[in-house]
Amino acid sequence: MIDAEQLYGRQILADEVHLNNAQGVQLIRRPALAIQDRWVLCQRCGQRTLKKEVRLPGNKFYCPHCFQLGRVTSDQWLWSLAEPNLFMPIASSPLSWRGKLTPAQASCSQQVRQYFAAGRTHLLWAVTGAGKTEMLFPGIQWALSHGLRVGIASPRVDVCLELAPRFEAAFKSIPQIVLYGDMSGTYEYRQLTICTTHQLLRFYHAFDVLVIDEVDAFPFAADPGLSFAAEQAKKESGALLYLTATPSRELQRQEKQNRLTVSYLPARYHGHALPEIKVKTTGNWRKRLNQNHLPGKVNRTLSQLIMKQRRFLIFVPHVNDLPRVETALKKQFPPLKLATVHATDPQRHEKVQWMRDQQIDCLITTTILERGVTFSDIDVIVIGADDQVFSTAALVQIAGRVGRKADFPSGLVQFFADSQTKVIREARRQIRFVNRKARQEKLIGDV
Amino acid sequence: MQTCLLCHRENLYQPTLWQLLNFQTVSQSPVCTGCWQTFEPIPADQACQGCGRRSAEKKCPDCQKWQADSSFSNRALYTYNAPLKRYMSQYKFNGDYRLRRVFQGQFQQAVKTLQADLIVPIPINQSTRKQRGFNQVLGFLEGVETLAGLATVQSDKSVPQSAKTRQQRLLTAQPFKLNVDEEVFRKKRVLLVDDIYTTGRTIRHAAELLIGAGAREVIGLTLAHG
Ligand SMILES: [Zn+2]
Ligand SMILES: [Zn+2]
Ligand SMILES: [Zn+2]
């Protein structure tokens, strides 16, 4: 037995469903797997699979792409109830945020609100440090005060957990829920939902306004199921807004062909250009690192930084490189206060805090710190930027760690690589492109 | 591009030189070499002849202690290490039936070596079968002629365990019943196949039943011991 409320705009996989309070609602039932000639098409995650690959005894089929939410088989149904928007009426403005948008932010924000109202799909391209969350507030205020259901989703749990308190503070009177894989609580029906994009697979025509944050390399080369999940989680009449800091060439092509509308915010809120990426070529950084040494050029750059008493992040390609660089630095620069951090480091949050509190001057890290963290007045070094773990989006984000605060809007972004790969060139091109655009629009002064 | 079913990275097709020289057509393994190498095979000549675990002695200390049922001997193909546990969880609990193909070659070879008259897979109970949609042991044995000689006994849930006499409890401990006529097993060498040998209780229960039905000899084959 399940409460009707649990099923508003949701979809659950089951043989059958019994509702507690079934009066006045109509259960919607769809086959979980669509069977075609040679393919099966999953109605939850949208991926298709060759039938002969996933045939079970008894001529049944399953989807091998979305196991985490329980296996979808061809003899099951997806059950849902239409979203009724049963929220408490809101008397006054729900926005408790009292900050001010820059004129450029305000104009983007205005466009976003119009696309929300029109129920359209739109992309907001804002550079790292543009203040895009704040730009969403007016549009979301409009949606909430009209009794609409709003969802904010990101592929990364870290981003969701970082966004949640900001939305809670900005909309104090609106009940919200945060959903992710290993959360401790259970699902509740709320007007404002913040969740991982993976959790979107549990929704069906729920949101009047859905925002997908931190979308790399639109249109999601890495995750073809994402646009399906987003389309299905929103109402058919609902608005869909994608946010990105790293526009791919494909995105620009789609915009030119008028297949997508885009708002640009090519400047940071403080009105200074993005620091551009500098590259120095190394002989064979992999060999040097494996011998616990740094390439000579890296050493020279670092000693200059240390002499100027700069504080910096060093990005390395792999977890194994962390102790190597640490050993080399301790030998070369004994007084330097440093730490290493990686994704499964139990002290991860503490170490980030040490760097913020200036207890250490150097943090050596894998790509986990590429986004979501802000340090004041730092430089960034990447050793082995030509390694294939770094995507263009990752390199742009890494460069975006520098100069985020209005008090310290600039700094050094120095990459070391054996050669300038296509990925590095594309990252440099993107940053130069947005700076050029920002200058054209007079959003930044001359630097 | 083919991706490895376990680590989801690219799975390059690398036929051996021998296969190329002999123009053999080999189907590509569904897992990559990297994942494949994390499994630990137990060579037949380094295994305990009782339970099948890796052992320097002919009988491991455990099997020496339990000499009583020394008539049964189990062959385990792999040690049940962490990567194999992960494999089993993806295969059984996710229900990714594609993974049955990973060890089919190893099973075919072992079945050939063990030369039994009948090959009987350990059955799984009805509700698991319905939910999972397949018997994981039968998946390993695709293409091998097997006999559904056993069925699971529906446990009688209406009477709590404590209310039963000791006699009844011992009886209900046998989880299997014969699915075919006793006659079929008479004087036969039977190979029982299961996925994991843990305490050996399951497979030994099945063996007892078949010996009782008149089988000449019952041996076991499991994917793993652990
Ligand atoms: Zn699916
Ligand atoms: Zn693999
Ligand atoms: Zn033993």
Q: What's the ipTM? A: 0.87
Look at A54 and B97 and tell me if their CB atoms are within 8 Å: yes
Instruction: Record the pTM.
Output: 0.82
**What pLDDT does A218 receive?**
45
Residues A264, A107 contacting (CB under 8 angstroms): no
pLDDT of residue B58 exceeding 80: yes
The angle subtended at Cα A275 by Cα A273 and Cα A276, nearest 5°, is 110
- Alpha-helical regions (H) of A321-417: 321-332, 348-356, 392-399
Chain B contacts of A71, Cβ < 8 Å?
Answer: 94-96
User: Running DSSP on this structure, what letter comes out for residue A312?
Assistant: E
Contacts of B97 in chain A (CB under 8 A): 54-56, 62
The CA-CA-CA angle for residues A364, A368, A373, to 5°, reads: 85
pLDDT in the model for residue B149: 95
- Close Cβ partners of B196 (under 8 Å, ≥ 6 residues apart): B80, B88, B222, B223, B224, B225, B226
Chain B partners within 8 Å of A62 (Cβ)? 95, 97, 133
Q: Taking each helix axis as running N to C, give the angle between helix A392-399 and helix A422-440, from 0 to 180 degrees, rounded to the nearest 10.
A: 50
Predicted local confidence at residue A447, as pLDDT = 46
More confident residue, B13 or B146: B146
In angstroms, the CA A314 to CA A340 distance is: 9
pLDDT of A43: 96
The pLDDT of residue B67: 66
Q: Tell whether the model's pLDDT for residue B20 goes beyond 80.
A: no
pLDDT of residue A245: 86
Q: Which chain A residues are Cβ-neighbours of B96 within 8 angstroms?
A: 64, 67, 71
Torsions phi, psi of A76, nearest 5? -110, 170
Residue indicated by tokens 């400047």: A267
What is the C-alpha separation between A62 and B94, in angstroms, rounded? 11
CA-to-CA distance for B17 and B114, rounded, in angstroms?
29
Any CB–CB contact under 8 A between B134 and chain A?
A: yes
Please check whether residue B4 is in contact with residue B31, taking contact to mean a CB–CB distance below 8 angstroms.
yes
Instruction: Among the bound ligands, name the one nearest to the CA of residue B75.
Output: 3
Q: A129: which 2 tokens?
A: 């440090």
Closest to A67 (Cβ–Cβ): which among B96, B133, B134? B96
Task: Specify the pLDDT at position A60.
Answer: 96
Q: Does B97 touch chain A (CB under 8 A)?
A: yes
**Vertex B152: Cα angle to B149 and B157 (nearest 5):** 160
Low-confidence ranges of chain A (pLDDT < 70): 216-224, 248-249, 251, 446-447
C-beta neighbour count of B33 within 10 angstroms: 11
Is B7 a residue whose pLDDT tops 70? yes
Q: Is B133 within 8 Å of A58 when comparing Cβ atoms? A: yes
**A34 Cβ contact list (under 8 Å, min separation 6):** A40, A41, A43
Provide CB contacts within 8 A for B18, sequence distance 6+.
B24
Mean pLDDT is lowest, of A135-139, A268-272, B68-72, B107-111, for B68-72
Hey, of A51, A67, A75, which one would you mutate to test binding to chain B, going by the most B CBs within 10 A of its CB?
Answer: A67
Residue B6 has pLDDT above 50, yes or no: yes
Domains, in order of start, for chain B = 43-78+103-225 (3.40.50)
Q: Are B213 and B206 in contact, with CB atoms under 8 Å apart?
A: no
Chain B residues with CB-CB distance to A67 below 8 A: 90, 94-96
Ligand nearest to the CA of B197: 3
DSSP H or E run through A447: none
pLDDT at residue B160 greater than cutoff 90? no
Domains of chain A: 4-80 (no CATH), 103-265 (3.40.50.300), 278-440 (3.40.50.300)
| Chain A closest-CA separation from residue B200 CA (Å) | 28
- Spell out the SS3 assignment of chain B: CCECCCCCCECCCCCCHHHHHCCCCCCCCCCCHHHHCCCCECCHHHECCCCCCECCCCCCHHHHHCHHHCCCEEEEEEECCHHHHHHHHHHHHCCCHHHHHHHHHHHHHHHHHHCCCEEEECCCCHHHHHHHCCCHHHHHCCCCCCCCCEEECCCCCCCCHHHCCHHHHHHHHCCEEECCCHHHHCCCEEEEEEEEECCCHHHHHHHHHHHHCCCCEEEEEEEEEC
- Distance of CA B224 from the midpoint of ligand 3 (Å): 13
Share the mean pLDDT of chain B: 88
In a 3-state reduction of DSSP, which class is residue A324? helix
Distance A113 CA to ligand 2 centre (A): 46
Q: From the CA of A74, which ligand is nearest?
A: 1
pLDDT at residue B187 in the model: 96
- Ligand having the closest approach to the CA of A69: 1
What is the spatial distance between Cα B44 and Cα B55, in angstroms, rounded to a whole number? 10
Please give the DSSP secondary-structure letter assigned to residue A14.
E
Cβ atoms of residues A396 and A371 within 8 Å: no
Note whether A164 and A194 are within 8 A (CB): yes
Going by pLDDT thresholds of 50, 70 and 90, the confidence category of residue B169 is low
pLDDT tens readout for residues B170-198: 555 789 999 999 999 999 999 999 999 99
Q: How far is B131 from chain A (nearest CA, A)?
A: 10
Residues in A whose CB is inside 8 Å of some CB of B read 53-58, 60, 62, 64, 67, 71, 73
**Mind spelling out the 3-state secondary structure of A169-236?**
HHCCCCCEEEECCCCCCCCCCCCEEEEEHHHHHHECCCEEEEEECCCCHHHHCCCCHHHHHHHHHEEE
- pLDDT score, position A399: 95
* Interface test with chain A among B3, B91, B98, B99, by most A beta carbons within 10 Å: B98
pLDDT at B39: 96
